[in-house]
Amino acid sequence: MPIRVQNELPVKEILEQENIFVMDEHRAMHQDIRPIQIGLLNLMPLKEDTELQILRSLSNTPLQVDVTFVNVSSHVSRNTSTSHINQFYQTFSEIKDRRFDGFIITGAPVEQMPFEAVDYWDELTEIMDWTKTNVTSALHLCWGAQAALYHHYGIDKVQVPHKLFGVFSHRVLNRKIPLVRGFDDVFMAPHSRHTDVPIEKLRADERITILAESEEAGLFLGMAEDGRRIFVMGHPEYDRVTLDGEYKRDLGKGLPIDIPKNYYPEDNPENKPLLTWRAAANNLYTNWLNYYVYQATPYDLYGTPF
C-alpha cells in the first residue's frame, strides 16, 4: 500500500530501502482517490523508531494511507529533537476539528505511575473522548490500551511481580471475528511492560470481547463497540532488535532486567534474535485497516456522522 508522508520525513528513506511504497505529498496531490486518513498519537520517547515501526505495519494492503503524526502539547519530549516534532507533528488543538478513518494511540514509558499522575493525562482523556465522535476506529497499543480500558471502562492496571519481557505464545479466541481472520491458532508476539490489566476483570465485562490471550502475558487483543475501540496489549509493531535494544539499555544503566523470553536462540544475547511475530503483526494491521477502517468508514468523512 502506498503511505503518504511528508517529503522530508527521515524514516521515508529507510522505508523506500525496504521496498515499501512511500508517496510524497506532491505525488499524493495528483491521485484521484480519497486516501484513508490515519492519525498517530505518538507517546513513545524515541518517536522516529515508532514512526518507522508503525508505518511499516500499515504498509501491507492496497489502500493508500495518509498518516498524520500527533503529539501532546502538555509534555515536552526529551528524546526527540524539537525541530523534528515542530516539522512533522501537529498538536491536538491543530487536528481536533478534523475527522479520521483510524487513529492509533501508542504506548508510553509511564506505566508504573498512576494514570492521573501522568502530566498529559487530562489531554489524553480529551483525545480519547474526541475519538468517539471524530474517528471510525481507534487502535490502542500497550500502555495506550491500559489507559483506554481505564478511562472508558474503569478497569485499572495492576503491577506484575516481574516485568513481562519477551516474546510470548498466544491463542486465538472468537475466530469468526474479522480482526483475527487468518491468524494461526497459536501465534507469537512481543511484550515489554511492568503492569497488566487483570484478564478476569476483562472477561467479566460484557462490553469487551477478548480475541487473543496468553497464559503467561494475559490479554493480547480485545475490542469493544464492534471495533470502534481496539486494544493491543503487546507490541506487534516491534522490529527484530527492539527488545534487544531495551535489554542492553537497561543492562547499561545497571537496572534489574532478565533476558527477554523466547527471543535469543539458546537465551544467548550474543545470538541474533529470532523474528517470530511479523506475520501475525502484519495480519493484525491489515485486518484492522480493511474490516474496521476502510469497510466501516464513510466516503465523505465530513458529510456523514459517525
* Active site positions, annotated: 142, 235, 237
**Residue showing cell 515536552:** 76
Identify the three-state secondary structure at position 255: coil
Looking up cell 498518516 gives: 67
Number of H helices, E strands in the chain: 10, 12
Greatest Cα pair distance in the chain: 57
Q: Which helix (H) or strand (E) holds 202?
A: helix 199-204
In 3D space, the residue among 216, 256, 260 whose CA is nearest the CA of residue 240 turns out to be 260
- 85, 19 contact by CB (below 8 A): no
Residue 170: strand pairing partners: 187
Task: Give dist(CA 286, CA 294) in Å, integer.
Answer: 10
Instruction: Identify the sign of the CA torsion 205, 209, 213, 217.
Output: negative
Q: Tell me which DSSP letter residue 262 carries.
A: T
Residue 210 forms beta bridges with which residues? 222
| Residues 38/99, Cβ–Cβ less than 8 Å | no
